[in-house]
Amino acid sequence: MSEWEPKIVAFLCNWCSYGGADLAGVSRLQYPANIRIIRVPCTGRVNPKFILAALRHGVDGVWVSGCHPGDCHYIEGNYYARRKFGLLKGLLEHMGIEPGRIHFSWISSAEATKFAETARAVVEKVKAIGPARHFIKRQAEVA
Amino acid sequence: MMSDRFVSKDGLKDGIRRLMERRAVIGPVFRGQYHEFAQLAQVDELDLTFQNSRLSPKGLFHPHSDRMFTYSLAKNDPEAGILKEAPQDYSPRVAVGIRPCDARAFQLDDANFETETIKDPWWVRRREATTLVGLGCNQPCATCFCTTVGTGPFDTAGLDVLLVDLGDGYLARPVTEKGRKLLDEAGFAAAAPAEASSRAGELRKAAEQSLGKLFSTEAIAGQNTLELFNAAFWDEVQFSCINCGTCTFLCPTCWCFDIQDEVSGEKGDRLRLWDSCMFPLFTHHGSGHNPRSQKLQRVRQRFMHKLKYYQDKYHLGAACVGCGRCVSHCPVNIDIRQVAQLMSASCIC
Amino acid sequence: MYAYTDRIREIARRLLSEDRVDLVIGYRKGTVPFMNEPFAARTPEQADRLWWDSFCGANLANYLPRRTDRVGIVVKGCDSRNVVVQILENQIPRDKLFIIGAPCKGMLDRRRIAAELGGKDALVAEEKNGRVLVQGRGFEVDLDRGAFLQENCSICIHRNPVIYDELAADLVEEQSGVDRYADVRQVEAMTSESRWEYFEELIRPCIRCYACRNACPQCYCPTCFVDESAPQWVGKTLDPTDTRTFHFLRAYHLAGRCTDCGACERACPVGIKVRQFTKKLEKDVKELYGYEVGLSLEERPPLDTFKPGDPESFIM
C-alpha cells in the first residue's frame, strides 16, 4: 500500500484551471506528480462519458476543474457543467464508487496556489481510499 | 439395450450424482424469477418441475459472449498480431431437462453451423461434447405450438435420451447410442415395465391433443416469395415493434452474431457476441448504406427468414419450434402465431 | 375499463372520419393474458379494435419522435409527461398531435401476477370492480387489483394527463402521502461496497437486449452511445463492467427526462429493476433543482438550463 501512488486524471479548462496549473508550474509551486492533465476548452465540454472512460481505464481518481461561475470564457459553459457534475457524482456514488474518487473545483488562471493546494487535497483523498477497485474494464469477462 | 428403462425420482438424483463425479451436468435451476440452464453444483438444484427456461439453452453451444481468439500487440513480440485460438472447455458434459422443442431447434441451428463445406468449430465441438437428456412435456403451456411447426411435446429429434415424468419415476428412453451409453453410466439399467411405456404413450397423446394446429408451415412454403414480401399486412405487424433483441435472444433458432475485437493494453480479444436482425445497425454497411434502415424491413425480415426463407433454403420446415418464448416475452405482444396465420392465408391481401 | 374503451373508440372514430388525424395510436387487446399491443388505427373501422384495460403499460409516446404525420395518441398521466418532454426537445410538434388523455389508476404487473399463479398458465383475465379474475387450465383466482400494481404505478403522483385535447374519462384523484424515494433512501443508507454489490446483483441477469432502452420514449438518439465505435465507450458483451456502464449511462441520459412510466422494467425479459438507477436521479433533480419532469411546456429540462445560484456543495 505504501508503494502505491494513485493515478488521477484531471480535466482542466483551457482558460482558467489549465492556466492556473501553468502558473503553478512557472511559479515553482510543488504539487504531487499523480495528476495527469487533459486540457479541454471548457468544463461544459466534459462529457460524462470521459469520466466513465477514465474510470474504466483504471484511474484511481478523476478531477474536473474550471472557471468560477460567472467567469466562464464561453459565458455559461460551467453553469451547465455544474448541473451535469452534481447529478453525475450523485449517481456514481449511489452506484458504489467511493466518495472521494470524483472531484470538482473552480480555479481561475491566477489561482496557482489554489491549484497546488487542491491537487494535494485530491491526491490525499484518493490515497486514503486506495487503488480503484470497481468499474475497471480489462479483458472482457466472458464465460 | 435401446429399450425403455425406468428410474425412480430418487434414482434419477443418484444417477445424476454419479454423472457429476466425472463431468459437468447442466440442468434447469430456479434463480431469481425464472429457470435458467446452469451447471449444477449439487443435484438438489435441479428442478425438473419447470415449464421451460426463460432463455433457451442455445447458450450451451452458442454463448452470448464467446472469446474466439486472443492476440498480442506488444511491440517486441514476434507473435504480435497473430490470432491464437482462445482455450475452451470441450470436456464431455450432460444437459438434463432439455425440452423437445429446444432439442429440435439445435438441429435447425446445425443447418447453419455445420454444413458440407463450413463447420463452425466452436459450435461443432460443443455439440459433440454434450449429451442431451430431454424431458417430455406432460402439460404444454398455453403459448406452446410445437406440433404446428413439425415437432412435438415428446419428440425425440435432437435428443440422446428422452425422460418422461410418470409421477412415481421417469421412463428413460435411449434415442441414440450416445444416450444409451449415458444411461448405462448413470446406472439406469432397470428395464421399464410395459405398463410404464404405455403410460408414457398416453401422456404423449394427451399432450399432443392439448395443442391445436394453428397454421400450416407448408402453406407458407408454398406462397410466392415476392407476393409475401410485398404483402400489405406487414405495415400493421411492424407498427408496435420496438426493435429490441428480446425475441432474438430468447429464441432457440436464432443464431446471428457479431464479431468484435477488444483491446486492453497490449492484449486483444476477438469476441463473438449475439446480434439481432431487429437492431437497426444489423445491416449497416461499411459504406454507410443500410438496406434495412426501416423498421418494417427488419420486422418483415425476421418472420420471412424464420417462416419462409429458411424453409426454402434447407427444406427442414420452419426455423421455429413453437417454444412460445417470444410470444410470452415480446414487450409489445407481437405474436408469431398471428403473423404466421397472416402469412399462410390463401389470399394475401 | 370498458367505458374507457368505448370512449377511446368513439373519439378515434370521430377523428379519423373527420380526417383530423392520419392515425390514432392506442392499444389493441393482446393475444396472451395480461398484455396489450400498441396499435395504430388508420380508418374509422379500425378504431373499433382499440382497447383499454389495466394492462396498457407500454408507453405509446415511444412511437412519436420524428413522426411527420398528424397523430392521435392515447396517453396516461406518465405518457403525457413524456409527450411534454418530447415537445420541449423538438421531437414532435404540438400542432401535429391530438392527445387523448386517459386518467389512470395504475397498470398491473404481469410478472407479479405470474408469480402469484406459481407458474400455472393463465388463459383468460377479466377485470371487474377492482378485482381481476384469472382463469387457467383447472384453476381460477380472484385477485385484488391494488396488490398487483406495477411498482412505479403504486407510487405515482401524476395519474392524470398533464396535457390533452380530449379526455377519455373523468379525472381521477391523485394519490397523496406517497413516498416516492423509499427504495432510493435504502440504497443511500448503504456503504459504498454494499451499494456496489446491490447493483451488481441487480443487473446480473442482463442479456443486453436493449428492451429497456427501446421501450423508453426518451431514448431516441439517432446513434445510441452503445453503438458508437470511434471511440467505443462500452463493450457489447456481457462483461459486468460493460453492462454496468450501459445501465449507468442510459439512466444518466434520462436525468431530468424520465417520468418513471415503468415501460423499461415492464419490457425487460429478465425482470431487472432498472428504475433503481433512474429513481436516484429523479430524487436528486427534485432536491437540487426543484424540478419535476414533464409538467410544463414553459420550463426547460434541468440539464438544458441553469441558475447562477445552483447548488454547489459538491464542489471542492
Tell me, letter by letter, the H, E, C secondary structure of chain B.
CCCCEEEEHHHHHHHHHHHHHHCEEEEEEEECCEEEEEECCCHHHCCCCCCCCCCCHHHHCCCCEEEEEEEECCCCCCCCCCCEECCCCCCCEEEEEECHHHHHHHHHHHHHHECCCCECHHHHHHHHHEEEEEECCCCCCCCCCHHHHCCCCCCCCCCCEEEEECCCEEEEEECCHHHHHHHHHHCCCCECCHHHHHHHHHHHHHHHHHCCCCCCHHHHHCCCHHHHHCCCCHHHHHCCCCCCCHHHHHCCCCCCEEEEEEEECCEEEEEEEECCCCCHHHHCCCCCCCCCCCHHHHHHHHHHHHHHHHHHHHCCCCCCCCCCHHHHHCCCCCCHHHHHHHHHCCCCC
Asked if the Cβ–Cβ distance from A91 to C235 is below 8 Å, we say no
Asked if the Cβ–Cβ distance from A90 to C302 is below 8 Å, we say no
Residue B67 lies inside a defined structural domain of this protein: no
pLDDT-derived band at B347 (thresholds 50, 70, 90) equals: low
Per-residue pLDDT tens for A55-76?
A: 999 999 999 999 999 999 999 9
Query: How far apart (Å, rounded) are the C-alpha atoms in residues B267 and B262?
Result: 9
Per-residue pLDDT tens for C102-123?
A: 999 999 999 999 999 988 899 9
**Residue where the block lists cell 406452446:** B144
Count CB-CB contacts under 10 A for residue B150.
18
Helix axis angle, B336-344 to B295-304, nearest 10°? 80
Asked if the Cβ–Cβ distance from C237 to B338 is below 8 Å, we say no
Per-residue pLDDT tens for B75-133?
A: 999 999 999 999 999 999 999 999 999 999 999 999 999 999 999 999 999 999 999 99
Query: What percent of chain B is modeled with pLDDT above 90?
Result: 97
* Distances in whole angstroms, Cα of residue A120 to Cα of each of A35, A68, B319, C210: 9, 20, 64, 42
Q: Which of C184, C193, C242 sits opposite A96 (nearest CB)?
A: C193
Return the residue of B nearest to A139 by Cα: B264
Instruction: Indicate the residue among B162, B192, B210 that finishes a domain.
Output: B210
- Give the cell for residue A34: 499523480
The CATH topology of domain A8-129 is Rossmann fold (3.40.50)
The answer, yes or no, to whether residue C1 has pLDDT greater than 80, is no
Contact C26, C74 (CB under 8 A): yes
Q: What is the dihedral of CA B228, B230, B234, B238, to 10 degrees?
A: 120
Helix axis angle, C240-253 to A77-95, nearest 10°? 140
- Do both B140 and B29 map to the same domain? yes
Q: What is the mean pLDDT of residues C178-201?
A: 97
Per-residue pLDDT tens for B145-171?
A: 999 999 999 999 999 999 999 999 999
Segments making up each domain of chain A, as ranges: 8-129
Q: Is the pTM of this model over 0.90?
A: yes
- Do both B27 and B128 map to the same domain? yes
Q: Can you give the pLDDT at residue B25?
A: 98
Cβ–Cβ contact B258 with C under 8 A: yes
- Give the cell for residue C3: 367505458
The answer, yes or no, to whether residue B346 has pLDDT greater than 90, is no
Q: What is the mean pLDDT of residues C140-165?
A: 97
- Do both B200 and B264 map to the same domain? no
Q: What is the extent of the structural domain holding B118? A: 5-62+82-210
Mutate to test the interface with A, among B58, B70, B259, B264 (most CBs of A within 10 A): B264
- Do both B13 and B129 map to the same domain? yes
Per-residue pLDDT tens for B219-243?
A: 999 999 999 999 999 999 999 999 9
Asked if the Cβ–Cβ distance from B240 to C123 is below 8 Å, we say no
Which of A140, B248, A91 minimizes the C-alpha distance to C211?
B248
* Distances in whole angstroms, Cα of residue C236 to Cα of each of A5, B279, C169, C274: 32, 13, 45, 18
Mutate to test the interface with A, among B26, B55, B62, B67 (most CBs of A within 10 A): B67
Which residues from chain A sit within 8 angstroms of residue B269, using beta carbons?
Answer: 139-140
Query: How far apart (Å, rounded) are the C-alpha atoms in residues A66 and A12?
Result: 6
- Do both B205 and B266 map to the same domain? no
Return the residue of A nearest to B71 by Cα: A139
The subunits that touch chain A, with at least 3 C-beta pairs less than 8 Å apart, are B, C
Per-residue pLDDT tens for A16-67?
A: 999 999 999 999 999 999 999 999 999 999 999 999 999 999 999 999 999 9
In a 10 Å sphere around its CB, with 0-12 CB exposed, 13-18 middle and 19+ buried, how is residue B225 labelled? exposed
Query: What percent of chain B is modeled with pLDDT above 70?
Result: 99
Asked if the Cβ–Cβ distance from C314 to A89 is below 8 Å, we say yes
Q: What is the dihedral of CA A18, A23, A24, A26, to 10 degrees?
A: 130
DSSP H or E stretch at residue A13: strand A8-13
Instruction: Indicate the residue among B159, B194, B210 that finishes a domain.
Output: B210
Query: How far apart (Å, rounded) are the C-alpha atoms in residues B192 and B194?
Result: 6
The answer, yes or no, to whether residue A1 has pLDDT greater than 60, is no
Instruction: Indicate the residue among B181, B210, B239 that finishes a domain.
Output: B210
pLDDT-derived band at B349 (thresholds 50, 70, 90) equals: low
Cβ–Cβ contact A49 with B under 8 A: no
pLDDT-derived band at C138 (thresholds 50, 70, 90) equals: confident
Count CB-CB contacts under 10 A for residue B197.
17
- Do both B202 and B54 map to the same domain? yes
Which residues from chain A sit within 8 angstroms of residue B63, using beta carbons?
Answer: 142-143
- Give the cell for residue A32: 504531487
Helix axis angle, A17-26 to A112-129, nearest 10°? 100
Asked if the Cβ–Cβ distance from A140 to B67 is below 8 Å, we say yes
Segments making up each domain of chain C, as ranges: 2-109+149-302, 110-148
- Do both B265 and B194 map to the same domain? no
The answer, yes or no, to whether residue A2 has pLDDT greater than 90, is no
Return the residue of C nearest to B141 by Cα: C121
Which residues from chain C sit within 8 angstroms of residue B328, using beta carbons?
Answer: 32
CA–CA min distance C57, chain A (Å) = 27
Which residues from chain C sit within 8 angstroms of residue A88, using beta carbons?
Answer: 252
Query: Which 3 state secondary structure label does DSSP give C260?
Result: coil
What's chain A's Rg over C-alpha atoms?
15
Mutate to test the interface with B, among A57, A136, A138, A139 (most CBs of B within 10 A): A139
- Do both B254 and B273 map to the same domain? yes
- Do both B93 and B114 map to the same domain? yes
Per-residue pLDDT tens for B13-60?
A: 999 999 999 999 999 999 989 999 999 999 999 999 999 999 999 999
Asked if the Cβ–Cβ distance from B331 to C215 is below 8 Å, we say yes
- Do both B152 and B242 map to the same domain? no
The subunits that touch chain B, with at least 3 C-beta pairs less than 8 Å apart, are A, C
Residue A2 or residue C296, greater confidence: C296
Strand partners, C101: C75, C167
